[in-house]
Amino acid sequence: MSTATPLSLEAHRSPGETDAHRRLRGLLEQGLPLTPRPWCTLAEQAGMAEEEVMACVRRWQADGMIKRLGLVVRHRRLGIQANAMVVWDVPDERVALVGRRLARETAVTLCYRRPRRLPDWPYNLFCMIHGARRERVLAELTAIVERLGLDDLEHRVLFSTHAYRQCGGRYVQEGAA
């Protein structure tokens, strides 16, 4: 079994957390073993009891450390190729409201506020719209702009043209996994 330790988790252990808990978090980042009793398999690897592993996972779900638990899909692999990052320049007093309204749109998969870096970068709100095709994504965007009345906001669409690396939020140290 790999002994890869996710760097970030290593540094962010909560007070009172045992080595076994940290090992468990590292193992979880690599995914569940596809065995009939995956928590039991993990428990053996982490040096814990199966019940304890499940309790730990439930606690991390409850406190938000784990956002979701399930199948992590590689969208590009399925042909969801059009990946548009839409960036907006929103007056500061409106940005939270616009962000929350964009986030409620089904087509919007991520929505963040980030700092402007003037003069090079005037945009402070980012959202992602994924779709099978570019035209479809642009049509969705047009509909959203109309529906939310955002036509006064300066925005740009940055489609991705190539993925040099796509991996889903893993914090495992390079080359260690």
Which parts of 7-66 interact with another protein (CB under 8 A)?
7-12, 25, 28-32, 34-40, 50, 54, 57-58, 60-61, 64-66
Q: How far is the CB of 2 from another protein (least distance, A)?
A: 14
Residues 125-144 that bind another protein (CB under 8 A): 126-127, 130-133, 136
Stretch that binds another protein, among 15-23, 104-112, 144-152 (CB under 8 A): 104-112
Secondary structure letter of residue 126 according to DSSP: E
Q: Which value, to the nearest 10 degrees, does the dihedral of the CA atoms of residues 121, 123, 127, 130 take?
A: -50
The CA-atom distances, in angstroms, between 31 and each of 27, 41, 70, 126, 146 are 7, 12, 9, 29, 41
Residue selected from 135, 154, 156, 177 as contacting another protein according to rule CB under 8 A: 156
Q: What angle do CA 91, 93, 94 make, to 5 degrees?
A: 70
- The residues near 27 (Cβ < 8 Å, ≥ 6 apart) are 42, 45, 46
Of 21 and 130, which has the nearer Cβ to another protein?
130
Q: How far is the CB of 62 from another protein (least distance, A)?
A: 11
Cis bond upstream, residue 119 (ω within 30): yes
Residue selected from 17, 20, 75, 148 as contacting another protein according to rule CB under 8 A: 75
Q: Tell me the two tokens of residue 123.
A: 């945009």
Stretch that binds another protein, among 15-23, 112-120, 137-145, 146-154 (CB under 8 A): 112-120
